[in-house]
C-alpha cells in the first residue's frame, strides 16, 4: 500500500463556503452570490474549470479573510453554471481530491491560492481490517437511517456498493447532518483507517441520540394524549356547568391561572407544583379561606422570574464613565469595583466575592451600588435590613396561616422581574436576633455562592436559584456583622471626604440636584466657593455629605421663597447673608487654635460616622490618690486611662514629681460629650500626655492631636482608622498629628491634599510624644535617667522648643 504524498503545488481560484462542506467524489449544487465568489467562478471558467472549495469557520462572517477559512479544502470541478434572475449563480460541482493551502496569492478581487493536492492511498490489495471496519460503519449507517428522518432512505443504496475505503468514508460522511467543524475534522483526516474509526464513533453516538429522541417523543406523545383527554373532559365539565347555571368564579379563576401557566416559562419541577396546586384549588369550596391561601401561593409562583434574565454585557469603559459621573473621588473604591466587573466579564459568571461597602453614613454606599446596576444595565433591587430581627424576614413564613408571605429575598426577586439583578442588602450590620431566630444566620445561605443555587424559602418551598444575582451589602461598622457572615464578604472600606472633595461634590452633584428639586434656574441663584466652604466648615462636621445636602437644600428654600414672593428675580448668596438664612454658625472651624492649655489634649477617635476629635481634660484636686473617669467611657478606655496613670507614676522622677505625689491628690479624667459612648485603646498616649500636663503644669500645643495605645513601659502600639482620624483632625484645623510608628504604612491611604497641609509625626515611645506635644519641653537632663547621653534620640533634641514654638 502506497504512502500518502502531495503533488506539486498548483494555483487555483478559491470559493469560500458558508455552512457547507464538499467531500471528494461528492456532487453538489449551490448558489453563489458574493462578489468575490462570482469573480472566482468567472476566473475558473476561463482556466481549467477547477477551483478549491474551503469552508468558513464562522458562517456569519460575510467578508472572510485568510484567518476565517480552513486551510484544508476540496479541489472540485465545475460541471455546470447557471445565472439566476436575482443575480446569483447556481453552480454544480464535483469533488476531486483533498488539497492543502500553502499560501494566498491573491485576496483583493477574488481569492487565489497555491495548493498541494493530497494523494489517496492505494487500496488495490484487499485488507481484511479495512473490510471489517467498512462493514461496521455500513451496519451503523443502516440503523441510523432507520431512526433518522433527516436523511433520505436511498442514501444506503448509494454507498453500499463502494469498495474504496476512502471514497466510502467520504460518501457516508456527506450524508450525515453534522456540524461544519465535525465534517472538517473528517476532511482533514488523511489516514483512512482513523477516518473510518471516527466515522464509526460519530454514527454510534448519533444512533444513541436518535434512540433517546424517539423515547422522549413517545413519552411526550403519551403526555399529549393525556393532556388532550383532560382538556376534553374539562371542556365537557364547563359545558355541563354552563347548562346547569353552576359556573362559579372559582372555575374562571382556575382557568385564568392555567392560561398564565401556559404562557410562563419555568422549570418542570415548578410547573408540576403549579398544576398540582391548581387541581387542589379546583376542589376547594368557594367559601373556604384556604382557597385564598392557595391562590396567593399560585400568584407568587407564577410571578417569580424562574428563567427570565436581563441581557447584559459588562462594558468597562461605560462603567468607569458612570462611576466618574455620579461620584467624585473614591478612586480606590472605583478601581476595586472595575476590577470586580472585569473578572465578571472574563469569566462570564457572577460567582465570586460578595461586595460589602463599609463606611460612615452619607459617603455614597447606596448610590455606588445603584451606579453598578446602571453600568451593567441590570435591574436594581434594594432591601433594608436595619432592625430586622425575625428569621422569617429572610426565609419567609411557612404557609400555615393566612397572611404568610415570602422573605425579603424572594420579594426582591419578584420586583426585579429577572433572575440576575443587582441586589443591595442595606444596613447589614443593623440586624438583631431574638426568640424568633437569627436573620444573620439565614443570610449565610443567601450570600454563599456554593449554596445559593438552591436557596430555600419557607413560603415558596421550591429551591430558587440565586447564583446569577449580584449581591452588594452596606454597613457602617463591620465589627457588628457576625464573623461567619463577614467571612463571606469582601470588605471595601469607604472613609470620609476631605474638604476639597466635599467642595467638588457640592458643586457637581448636590447643588444642581437641589436647584432642580426647588425649581430654581441656573441664573436665579448664584453661590461662590467661599460660601460653600463656609457651609462645609461652620454648618457641618461629618464624614459624608448628607448633612451638607440638607444645609444646601435649606439655602435653596430660602432663595426660592424670596423669588416666589417677587422680592427679587436673582439672588447671589454671600457669606454675610448665610447667617440670615441658616442662623449663627453651628461649628467653629479650628476651635482648637485659640490657646495652649494645661491638662487639655486633643485626642483622635474612630466612630461609626467616621473620625472624631476628642478633647481629654484632667483636673488635679486634693484627695487620697483616686483616679476618677467620666464621660461615658467603655471598659477598654478605662483600662487605657489606668495604664497611662501607672506609666506616669513609674516615671515620676523623670517628670520632676515626688514618687508619692498621688497619695495627696485625686485625678479626674473627663472626656466631654458624656452622653456619647466612647471606647477603644487609642486614647492611651492622649491620657498620659494630659496627666503629665496637669501634674507638671506644662502647656500642651494647641495645634497637635494624637492617637496611639500605650503600655506600662511607655511603648506606643499601633491603632486602626488613621485615615478617618486624620480627616477629623483636618476638619478641625489641626496641623500636627502624632501617631504610632507602626502606622506609617497607613499614611498612603490619606488623601494627598491632607498630607500636604498637615505634618505627621511617627513615634514608638511615650518619651517622643512628650518631646513633641509640650510647648515648654522638659529639660534634656531630666531624661538622662532613662536614655544614656550618647544614645539619646534626635527626636528629644529637635523638639518644638526652638523654631515654631508657641510662646
CA distance 588 to 580: 18
For the question of residue 682 being annotated catalytic, the response is yes
As given in the structure block, the three cell numbers for residue 285 are 369550596
Instruction: Residue 632: name the closest of 605, 685, 578, 670 by CA.
Output: 670
As given in the structure block, the three cell numbers for residue 442 are 439565614
Alpha helices in 245-355, H assignment, sequence order: 249-263, 268-283, 290-303, 316-326, 331-347
DSSP-derived secondary structure letter, 634:
-
CB 741 within 8 A of CB 763: yes
CA distance 427 to 674: 27
Out of 166, 440, 682, 693, which one is annotated catalytic? 682
Beta strands in 609-747 (DSSP E): 610-622, 627-630, 665-670, 699-700, 704-706, 709-710, 716-717, 736-740
For the question of residue 725 being annotated catalytic, the response is yes
What is the distance, to the nearest Å, from the Cα of residue 474 to the centroid of all Cα atoms in its chain?
13
Q: Which helix (H) or strand (E) holds 761?
A: strand 759-763
CA distance 710 to 766: 8
CA distance 637 to 447: 35
Instruction: Residue 388: name the closest of 314, 442, 319, 450 by CA.
Output: 442
Out of 440, 558, 725, 726, which one is annotated catalytic? 725
As given in the structure block, the three cell numbers for residue 664 are 495627696
Beta strands in 40-110 (DSSP E): 50-55, 72-83, 89-106
Q: Is 229 exposed, middle or buried (0-12, 13-18, 19+ CB in 10 A)?
A: exposed
CA distance 20 to 638: 84
Supply the Cα-derived Rg of the chain in whole angstroms: 41
Q: Is 251 exposed, middle or buried (0-12, 13-18, 19+ CB in 10 A)?
A: middle
Placement of cell 513615634 in the chain? 763
Q: Which helix (H) or strand (E) holds 178?
A: none
| DSSP-derived pairing of the beta strands 27-32 and 72-83 | unpaired
Residues annotated as catalytic (active site), given as ranges: 682, 725
Amino acid at each position: 500500500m502506497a504512502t500518502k504524498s502531495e503533488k506539486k503545488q498548483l494555483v487555483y481560484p478559491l470559493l469560500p463556503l458558508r455552512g457547507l462542506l464538499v467531500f471528494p467524489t461528492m456532487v453538489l449544487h449551490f448558489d453563489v452570490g458574493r462578489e468575490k465568489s462570482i469573480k472566482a467562478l468567472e476566473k475558473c471558467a476561463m482556466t481549467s474549470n477547477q477551483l478549491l472549495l474551503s469552508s468558513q469557520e464562522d458562517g456569519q462572517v460575510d467578508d472572510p479573510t485568510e484567518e476565517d477559512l480552513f486551510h484544508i479544502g476540496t479541489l472540485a470541478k465545475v460541471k455546470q453554471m447557471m445565472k439566476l434572475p436575482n443575480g446569483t449563480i447556481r453552480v454544480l460541482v464535483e469533488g476531486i481530491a483533498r488539497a492543502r493551502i500553502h499560501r494566498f496569492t491573491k485576496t483583493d478581487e477574488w481569492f487565489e491560492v497555491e495548493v498541494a493536492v493530497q494523494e489517496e492511498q492505494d487500496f488495490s490489495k484487499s485488507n481484511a481490517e479495512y473490510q471489517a471496519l467498512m462493514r461496521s460503519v455500513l451496519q451503523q449507517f443502516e440503523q441510523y437511517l432507520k431512526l433518522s428522518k433527516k436523511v433520505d432512505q436511498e442514501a444506503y443504496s448509494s454507498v453500499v456498493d463502494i469498495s474504496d475505503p476512502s471514497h466510502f468514508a467520504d460518501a457516508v460522511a456527506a450524508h450525515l447532518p453534522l456540524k461544519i467543524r465535525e465534517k472538517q475534522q473528517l476532511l482533514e483526516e488523511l489516514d483512512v483507517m482513523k477516518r473510518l474509526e471516527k466515522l464509526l464513533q460519530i454514527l454510534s453516538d448519533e444512533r444513541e441520540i436518535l434512540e433517546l429522541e424517539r423515547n422522549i417523543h413517545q413519552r411526550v406523545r403519551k403526555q399529549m394524549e393525556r393532556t388532550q383527554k383532560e382538556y376534553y373532559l374539562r371542556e365537557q365539565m364547563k359545558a355541563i356547568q354552563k347548562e346547569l347555571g353552576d359556573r362559579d368564579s372559582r372555575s374562571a379563576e382556575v382557568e385564568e391561572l392555567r392560561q398564565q401557566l401556559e404562557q410562563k416559562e419555568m422549570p418542570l419541577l415548578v410547573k408540576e407544583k403549579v398544576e398540582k396546586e391548581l387541581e387542589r384549588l379546583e376542589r376547594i369550596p368557594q367559601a373556604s379561606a384556604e382557597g385564598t391561601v392557595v391562590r396567593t401561593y399560585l400568584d407568587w409562583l407564577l410571578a417569580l422570574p424562574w428563567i427570565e434574565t436581563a441581557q447584559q454585557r459588562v462594558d468597562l469603559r461605560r462603567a468607569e464613565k458612570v462611576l466618574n459621573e455620579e461620584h467624585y473621588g473614591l478612586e480606590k473604591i472605583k478601581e476595586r469595583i472595575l476590577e470586580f466587573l472585569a473578572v465578571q466579564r472574563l469569566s462570564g459568571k457572577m460567582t465570586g466575592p460578595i461586595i460589602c461597602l463599609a463606611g460612615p453614613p452619607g459617603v455614597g454606599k447606596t448610590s455606588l451600588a445603584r451606579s453598578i446596576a446602571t453600568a451593567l444595565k441590570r435591574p436594581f433591587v434594594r432591601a433594608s435590613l436595619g432592625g430586622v430581627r425575625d428569621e422569617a424576614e429572610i426565609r419567609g413564613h411557612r404557609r400555615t396561616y393566612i397572611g404568610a408571605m415570602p422573605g425579603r429575598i424572594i420579594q426582591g426577586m419578584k420586583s426585579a422581574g429577572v433572575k440576575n439583578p443587582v441586589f443591595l442588602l442595606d444596613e447589614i450590620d443593623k440586624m438583631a436576633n431574638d426568640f424568633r431566630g437569627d436573620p444573620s444566620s439565614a443570610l449565610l445561605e443567601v450570600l454563599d455562592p456554593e449554596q445559593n443555587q438552591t436557596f430555600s424559602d419557607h413560603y415558596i418551598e421550591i429551591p430558587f436559584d440565586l447564583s446569577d444575582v449580584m449581591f452588594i451589602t452596606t454597613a457602617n461598622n463591620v465589627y457588628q456583622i457576625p464573623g461567619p457572615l463577614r467571612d463571606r464578604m469582601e470588605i471595601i472600606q469607604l472613609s470620609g471626604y476631605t474638604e476639597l472633595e466635599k467642595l467638588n461634590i457640592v458643586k457637581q452633584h448636590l447643588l444642581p440636584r437641589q436647584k432642580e428639586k426647588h425649581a430654581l434656574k441656573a441664573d436665579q441663584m448664584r453661590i461662590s466657593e467661599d460660601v460653600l466652604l463656609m457651609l462645609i466648615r461652620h454648618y457641618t462636621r461629618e464624614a459624608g455629605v448628607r448633612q451638607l445636602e440638607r444645609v444646601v437644600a435649606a439655602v435653596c428654600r430660602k432663595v426660592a421663597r424670596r423669588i416666589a414672593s417677587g422680592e427679587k428675580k436673582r439672588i447671589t448668596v454671600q457669606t454675610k447673608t448665610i447667617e440670615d438664612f441658616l442662623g449663627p454658625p453651628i461649628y467653629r472651624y479650628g476651635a482648637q487654635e485659640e490657646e495652649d492649655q494645661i491638662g487639655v489634649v486633643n485626642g483622635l477617635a474612630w466612630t461609626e460616622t467616621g473620625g472624631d476629635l476628642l478633647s481629654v481634660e484632667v483636673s488635679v484636686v486634693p484627695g487620697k490618690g483616686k483616679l476618677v473617669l467620666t464621660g461615658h467611657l467603655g471598659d477598654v478606655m478605662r483600662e487605657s486611662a489606668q495604664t497611662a496613670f501607672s506609666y506616669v507614676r513609674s516615671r515620676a522622677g523623670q517628670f520632676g514629681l515626688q514618687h508619692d505625689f498621688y497619695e495627696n491628690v485625686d485625678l479626674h479624667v473627663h472626656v466631654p460629650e458624656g452622653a456619647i459612648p466612647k471606647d477603644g485603646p487609642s486614647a492611651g498616649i492622649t491620657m498620659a500626655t494630659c496627666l503629665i500636663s496637669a501634674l507638671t503644669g506644662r502647656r500642651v500645643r494647641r495645634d497637635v492631636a494624637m492617637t496611639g495605645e500605650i503600655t506600662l513601659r511607655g511603648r506606643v502600639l499601633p491603632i486602626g482608622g488613621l485615615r478617618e482620624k486624620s480627616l477629623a483632625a483636618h476638619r478641625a484645623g489641626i496641623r500636627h498629628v502624632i501617631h504610632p510608628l507602626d502606622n506609617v504604612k497607613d499614611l498612603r491611604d490619606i488623601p494627598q491634599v491632607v498630607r500636604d497641609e498637615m505634618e505627621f509625626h511617627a513615634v514608638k515611645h511615650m518619651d517622643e510624644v512628650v518631646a513633641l506635644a509640650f510647648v515648654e519641653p522638659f529639660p534634656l537632663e531630666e531624661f538622662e535617667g532613662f536614655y544614656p547621653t550618647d544614645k539619646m534620640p534626635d527626636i528629644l533634641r529637635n523638639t518644638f522648643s526652638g523654631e515654631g514654638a508657641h510662646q
